[in-house]
Amino acid sequence: MNIALIAHDNKKESLIQFVSAYKPILEEHSLFATGTTGLKIIEATGLNVYRFQSGPLGGDQEIGSLIAKNEMDMVIFFRDPLTAQPHEPDVSALLRLCDVYNIPLASNMGTAEILIHGLERGDFNWRTIQDK
């Protein structure tokens, strides 16, 4: 499965801890991330992560493009709800695309854990058997 990993600046460390904890599950899948987040994940875990541009420079939109082409299966996006983001319209567009194309989306650690455990159980295999 193709999994996008994104985090606002104040949530990057939490995402790195999450990815480290679930590395055995995540390493079995194709991982994608926005620029800085991806670099930090690679440095901390050694996982193979395809990096897009930084979020404010278009990385969110690059991931959104894969969602629109039905080439992304899950998005884990640790958002910072307490800090205004200069690229909030891009973030809103990405979240909207997840809803339009029924892409499982976690915006916090609690939901991300539920999705990861479901991924481990095979609950998302429907993504591989539907018409892409």
Q: Sorting pLDDT into bands at 50, 70 and 90, what band is 97?
A: very high
Strands (E), the chain: 2-7, 30-33, 49-51, 74-78, 105-106
Q: Enumerate the β-bridge partners of residue 3.
A: 31, 74
Give me 114's structure tokens.
């539920």
What is the Cα–Cα distance from 24 to 79, expressed in whole angstroms? 24
CB 71 within 8 A of CB 130: no
Position 55 scores a pLDDT of: 82
Mean pLDDT of 100-120: 96
Catalytic one of 60, 73, 90, 123: 60
Q: For 55-83, what is the mean pLDDT?
A: 92
Active site residue 73: no
For domain 2-78+111-127, the CATH class is alpha beta
